[in-house]
A and B are shown apart, each in its own frame.
Chain A
């Protein structure tokens, strides 16, 4: 069975400061890892994914994520937060060769204050 943990329900950060949203996963074999963002009353938007190769993945809106196999983590980062980054963020995983179904974490609400 595969699982995702997002240990923080909410992350608060001041505008202009760096942000990190944490994600750890459990999967048999090599993982595919994804980050999605959800703005109020909207569906999920794809931000970035890790498939293979470079451990640092760059995505939309200046976000990046670092894959750490030994720590089974895939934390989302941004060097300088914007108020408009305030949203709900979801990490998701599926195993390589494990079919098309994703397992999502519970979500982390990011609040960026001016």
Chain B
């Protein structure tokens, strides 16, 4: 079974703090994703990485950055946390290959509260 783990289930940070969310997958997947989930809005893609050191912006990248130094690890960074970044953050991974319909596998999520 694919396993995607996230460093924290619950996190409380103060406004202005730098926040790191870590994600690790153990299936040698090329692609990794960071989403945020808000009620009624579904999942919105923040950033996507298709290889080590490679990244693409998703729908809502403002206020976030990412780092992928190793294939199995994808980090989401909030440079200066704000209250509107309070949300559930989900990491996912998938095999690469356009035209193959590979599904994404999700971690358990990190519920971040910024006060």
Contacts and interface: CB of A to CB of B under 8 A. Distances in A.
Interface size of A as a range: 20 to 34
A43 B90 CA distance: 7
A22 interface: no
B94 A100 contact: yes
A53 B32 CA distance: 28
A104 B102 CA distance: 15
A32 B101 contact: yes
A42 B43 contact: no
A100 B107 CA distance: 18
Interface stretch (A61-69, A71-79, A90-98): A90-98
A32 to B, nearest CB: 4
Contacts of B99: 96-97
Given A100-B48, A101-B58, A46 B42 contact: no
B64 interface: no
Given A34-B103, A43-B106, A44-B90, A104 B43 contact: yes
Interface of B: 4, 9, 31, 33, 35, 40-45, 48, 50, 56, 58, 90, 92, 94, 96, 98-99, 101-109
16 contacts: A36-B106, A42-B108, A43-B90, A43-B107, A43-B108, A43-B109, A44-B90, A45-B106, A90-B42, A96-B98, A100-B31, A100-B94, A101-B45, A104-B42, A105-B42, A107-B42
Given A43-B4, A104-B44, 20 more contacts: A9-B40, A41-B108, A41-B109, A42-B109, A43-B90, A43-B109, A46-B105, A49-B101, A51-B101, A96-B98, A99-B98, A100-B96, A100-B98, A100-B102, A101-B48, A101-B58, A102-B45, A106-B41, A107-B40, A107-B42
